[in-house]
Amino acid sequence: MGKWKAPSLQLIQSQLEQFSEEQKEIIHKVVISCIDRGLHDLLFGLQEAHELGDKIEMFVDDVNLAEVSDGLHGELFTEDGWYHRFSKYGMQDEG
């Protein structure tokens, strides 16, 4: 740690330095899990909004992503999905 330059993050960075390495690892897992679940729930909500005919849609290059997917939230886990292509940490274990 100790890499954040933004003044708004200086206090939290200082507070995190007070934890043991084991505690920092737990905090890291919690944050990654929150991000993973947040992405999943956002994509699930977008898929559900599409299926219910709500006015929330997501387009990329004029393509409605919910229409070309069999479930946006499942796209996270495929071989060409988010975890495989972009995540430095991969899918976090629930255990």
**pLDDT band (50, 70, 90) for residue 92:** low
Q: How far apart are CA 27 and CA 21, in angstroms?
A: 10
State pLDDT tens for residues 48-59: 988 898 888 888
- Tell me the pLDDT band of 95, cut-offs 50, 70 and 90: very low
Distance between CA 69 and CA 67 in Å, rounded?
A: 6
With b for 16 or more beta-carbon neighbours within 10 A and e for fewer, the 50-80 pattern comes to: beeeeeeebeeeeeebbeebeebbebbeeee
pTM: 0.68
pLDDT, averaged across the chain: 84
Which has more confidence, 65 or 30?
A: 30
Is residue 63 a contact partner of residue 7, using CB atoms and an 8 Å limit?
no
pLDDT of 66 > 50? The answer is yes
Reply yes or no on whether the pLDDT at 93 is more than 70: no
DSSP type of residue 75: G
Model pLDDT for residues 71-89, shown as the tens digit of each residue: 888 778 777 777 777 777 6
